[in-house]
């Protein structure tokens, strides 16, 4: 299908975009790369009256290292993230994850800001933001808010962003000493939305986790930062402890049935990912054979 009629404004600056959003409220939609918005409009799932195209705003672009923080502009495309030496060096989880985001032609247009603001529960980048403890920076006419990723995602396509605000950048802490990461997902076709996925950021010392952030996605209405991970920190990982963590994880997930998979299949896959993650990060192949 085709999108219904709308008015189009090419924003010339952040201020100009915020003025348009303030004037039109939720009748307006921000167009970044358009790789989620355009499908939704073509399928007539949404029919905004005004499209505010921020694609030409140069100050929303780019990746910069500022001390211990990596700042990524909202308009940074998936293709830019994938090729960025700064991201590869300081946030390798993101490099790994972006390779799973859609296909080359879509990565050439889709942006990190667009993906986060869209907040599809099956998409990779929101989960990475949780695992990495990112700060999401949004701006409105009243000023700027710095929102921790764990407070940003509120539900299916729902975030803490108001209709009058623009997501302008994200800040990621740079990778620490002894850091390790894991990313994997199950999808019907490479690049498709995940059936279940896991982004993990860890610190491993002497064969044990001294820190572990596990962000599961496509297993609920938003990415889930698992508290079951706490059981695995500073602990000797045994099959019994893994079973314990697995059961705790099960309690935290609220997956849905859809045409891709049943809820119980998603629960199963999340547990498989948990075991793969722990066995990979600790080099413990012995744990993997015990997948329930």
Partner 1 sequence: MTAPMPISLQVNGERVDTHVLPRLNLADFLREHLHLTGTHVGCEHGVCGACTVRVNNEIVRACLMLAVQTHGASVQTIEGLSDSGEVADLQAAFRDRNALQCGYCTPGMLMAAQDFLLQQAEPDREQIREHLSGNYCRCTGYQAIVDAVETTARSRKAHK
Q: Using CB under 8 A, list all residues that contact partner 1.
A: 1-10, 31, 34-35, 38-39, 42-43, 50-51, 53, 55, 79, 102-106, 108-109, 189-191
CB nearer to partner 1: pick between 4 and 264: 4
CB nearer to partner 1: pick between 43 and 65: 43
Q: In whole angstroms, give the CA distance from residue 105 to residue 200.
A: 27
CB nearer to partner 1: pick between 104 and 207: 104
Taking the complex as a whole, the smallest distance from the CB of residue 60 to partner 1 amounts, in Å, to 16
Taking the complex as a whole, the smallest distance from the CB of residue 194 to partner 1 amounts, in Å, to 14
Q: In whole angstroms, give the CA distance from residue 121 to residue 102.
A: 15
Taking the complex as a whole, the smallest distance from the CB of residue 30 to partner 1 amounts, in Å, to 13
Taking the complex as a whole, the smallest distance from the CB of residue 190 to partner 1 amounts, in Å, to 4
Taking the complex as a whole, the smallest distance from the CB of residue 212 to partner 1 amounts, in Å, to 30
CB nearer to partner 1: pick between 79 and 130: 79
Taking the complex as a whole, the smallest distance from the CB of residue 27 to partner 1 amounts, in Å, to 12
CB nearer to partner 1: pick between 36 and 175: 36
CB nearer to partner 1: pick between 1 and 289: 1
């Amino acid at each position: 299908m085709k999108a219904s009629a709308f008015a189009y404004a090419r924003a010339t600056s952040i201020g100009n975009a915020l003025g348009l959003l303030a004037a039109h409220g939720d009748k307006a939609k921000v167009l970044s790369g358009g790789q989620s918005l355009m499908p939704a409009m073509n399928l007539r799932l949404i029919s905004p009256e005004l499209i505010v195209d921020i694609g030409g705003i140069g100050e929303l672009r780019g990746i910069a290292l500022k001390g211990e923080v990596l700042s990524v502009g909202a308009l940074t495309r998936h293709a830019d993230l994938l090729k960025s030496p700064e991201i590869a060096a300081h946030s390798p989880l993101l490099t790994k994850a972006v390779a799973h985001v859609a296909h080359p032609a879509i990565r050439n247009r889709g942006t990190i800001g667009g993906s986060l603001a869209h907040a599809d529960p099956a998409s990779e980048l929101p989960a990475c933001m949780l695992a990495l403890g990112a700060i999401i920076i949004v701006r409105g006419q009243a000023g700027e808010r710095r929102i921790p990723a764990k407070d940003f995602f509120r539900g299916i396509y729902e975030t803490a962003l108001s209709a009058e605000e623009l997501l302008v950048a994200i800040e990621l802490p740079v990778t620490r000493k002894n850091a390790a990461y894991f990313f994997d997902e199950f999808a019907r076709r490479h690049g498709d939305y995940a059936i279940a996925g896991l982004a993990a950021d860890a610190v491993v010392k002497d064969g044990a986790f001294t820190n572990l952030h596990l962000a599961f996605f496509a297993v609920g209405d938003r990415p889930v930062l698992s508290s079951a991970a706490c059981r695995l920190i500073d602990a000797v990982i045994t099959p019994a402890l893994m079973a314990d963590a697995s059961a705790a994880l099960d309690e935290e997930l609220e997956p849905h049935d859809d045409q891709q998979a049943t809820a119980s299949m998603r629960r199963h896959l999340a547990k498989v990912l948990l075991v793969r993650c722990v066995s990979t990060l600790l080099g413990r192949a012995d744990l993997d054979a015990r997948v329930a």
